[in-house]
Structure 1
Amino acid sequence: MDKVELIATSSFGLEAIVAREVKKLGYEDVKVENARVSFTADLSAICRGNLWLRSADRLLIKMGEFEARSFTELFDKTRDLPWADWLPVNANFPVQGKSIRSQLFSVPDCQAIVKKAVVESLKGRYHKQWFEENGPRYTIEVGILKDVATITLDTSGAGLHKRGYRKLSSAAPLKETLAAAMIDLSRWHPDRLLLDPFCGSGTIPIEAAMTALNQAPGLNREFAAENWPVIPKKYWLDARTEANDLLNREMRLKIRGTDINPEALSLARYHARQAGLEKQIHFQQMPVAQVQTKEKFGFLITNPPYGQRLQDLPSVEKLYREMSGIFKKNLSTWSFYIITAHKELETFFGRRADKKRKLYNGRIECHFYQSTAPSRRGGNRKRKLITQTYNRAIPGPI
């Protein structure tokens, strides 16, 4: 097959970032919708997309999309899709589902109908009545929105946020894909110090280092589609070779993560070692009240406590006031990028954000407050040249 239609799914609010990542990979036929970015490409894009997409949740193959108001319609139109072009005779093909504002509201029934339809389709090609399903995994999803069914195959397996470095977890961890998106939105550049004073298990500093070094986020993990016979092994080998060739191992970064919790910092150091970045990030135990630096300009990118429980709100609001005083004193010329579910951050922080963007940390609705340092407003020629150089390092079409 020459071309396939792919869907990079994302959290709400990150679609434009995912679309930009897809275009940087050299794919131009891009369509942005709620929580997904669609594009058409060749089979090698499955390998390259899984390796390189930093802010997407999964990479799916769109098998078909059609109106389905009855189980008969769902069965017939699913059966007519070219399943045998993708699934070998021993394929393991579980079916997942979701239905929103549709007449076919029973998800288990929809899953069963799709499973039966795929089996009937494969019977016609393989002339078998029963399939063992002991081979590669092909997760099928039926998603029905307003009576329109979209049938997809998941090429990623585990979600793309699972880079392979975070083996252990701290309380309320920030998802890697969201951290990468925050780095992208901040327009941080490796010539500036990046500080996360609530670094926890290290996700923001690690994602920043991976981005700056042009390290493909999926380089150290495997994907479901690597075991699919229809995708030549050479495509995966070429994609990994490309990723290794584009990795900038020589750059030295100024990234610092601090936290008051020694156990969280132990996790952060462990995760940095797993990612091969322990020499690029400096972690230090420190309460936010002691944060200071000799760097006149820098980027503070962080995910502070939210105070989701009512009894925690007073202490969180006190913390925000403390942050305001310390940052005004020691970091007055810095840029600030803070994500929180607390809607009054600006009131307690004492600094109006230049931009606010609604994002979701898991299922928690948050706002990403972006406040640019005065020295960065109006542009900077040196920074522009650095940006152009960095963007040229991003992989384009092979």
Structure 2
Amino acid sequence: MTTHKPNGGRVIPVNVRIGGTDEAHLRPVKRKRLSDYPGVARAHLETARLYANPFLLGPPICDELMALIQHMFTEEEASLVRRIKFPRGNTARDIAKTVHRPVEEVRPILRRLARDKRILPTFGKGKKKRFGLMPIVPGVFEAVLLRSSMDTLTPWHRRFAELFAALYDTGFLTEYAGNPIPAVRYVPVQQTIEHHSMALPSDRLEEVLDHYKDFAVGLCQCRMTEQIIDRDCGRPLENCVAFGDGVEGIVRSGRMRRVTKKDVLEIKAEAESMGLATFIAEIDTGKAASGASCSCCGCCCHALRTISEFNVPGLIAPPHFMPQVNLDECNYCGKCARACPMGALAVDSKNKLYQHLPERCIGCGLCAVACDRQKAIQMEATANYRKPPKSLGSILAQMGPNYLRNAWSVRRKQR
């Protein structure tokens, strides 16, 4: 067993012999029923059932979910939220009628949940505005913790992060990995571009950003959470980037600060130099009105941890490039393994053994950057690479069927 612990983060176990699932990292959810919580308000119980919906990628009813729901919503708030129909949502007037309260009382509560707590998404304007539901992750987690500074976190936000971490650590998302739904893809920046010489324009961050004029940066919600619970890796926080039409509103709300394209590239280059891999949505981003880019590590990022800790790939698009090692040039120093954010490389310096675990590899090329012998590792294009979809419709057509299959599979297990 070889272990890799990047920059003080959690150890990523790698089974050199088979590269399979390390069961020690899985802490199975202790499933319960609503009837197991006689002391919890009915409004909270019914709201927990809403968020346990497999079509919202929800966890099963469990202590961790119940604690999070009770923190997210007061009993009064939950009494309204439980009336929201997924996926269509409801207007404030619709909800007011179901709870037999004046809409003038209900609307401010729903607005607070949408504008202040950032828990509910909204659609439409004015009296026709609908309040909806989104998954706890990805969705509520990112919206609640999107910040420009740690100083803006209240005790409520910090407790939210703690309770979310406890829920995520159960590994409930692994239940949705039966069929891949690749939502994000890696793109090289600066140093790694040199090792991705065949990269397409859609593979290069700078060329993707050329399509946009507005940019903003905020704190990484994943590493922020790990810092709050004293489990972070110490890498930079301010490298979560937004670009396009959505920037104005995010900056106006104070959740991110405005920057230039040059600033973004410098921020991403610094992140890469610290061992972070750059990701964007699995779409030909230049075709979209707006987008976002994360700088991720395998020890804190929730998308990457599905691979690095739970050994369940599927949320990351298959890489365009994979490392190829010339063992005649390799001196088995292990620098490549230490640089890998996913624990996808295992090197035994004593016995001169090297192993690449493709099921963990995201194709970032940080191993090639770290290699002192420039010819020892080369990034080579993979066979059967598929370009990212060119529209939201294409994404839904590509991922929708597997999303539904996974949700139905989880629902059958919950019955």
What TM-score do you get using the length of structure 2 for normalisation? Answer: 0.25
Q: Report which of the two structures shows the higher radius of gyration computed on alpha carbons.
A: 1
Greater fraction helix: 2
Greater fraction strand: 1
Structure scoring higher RCO (CA < 8 A, sep ≥ 6) equals 2
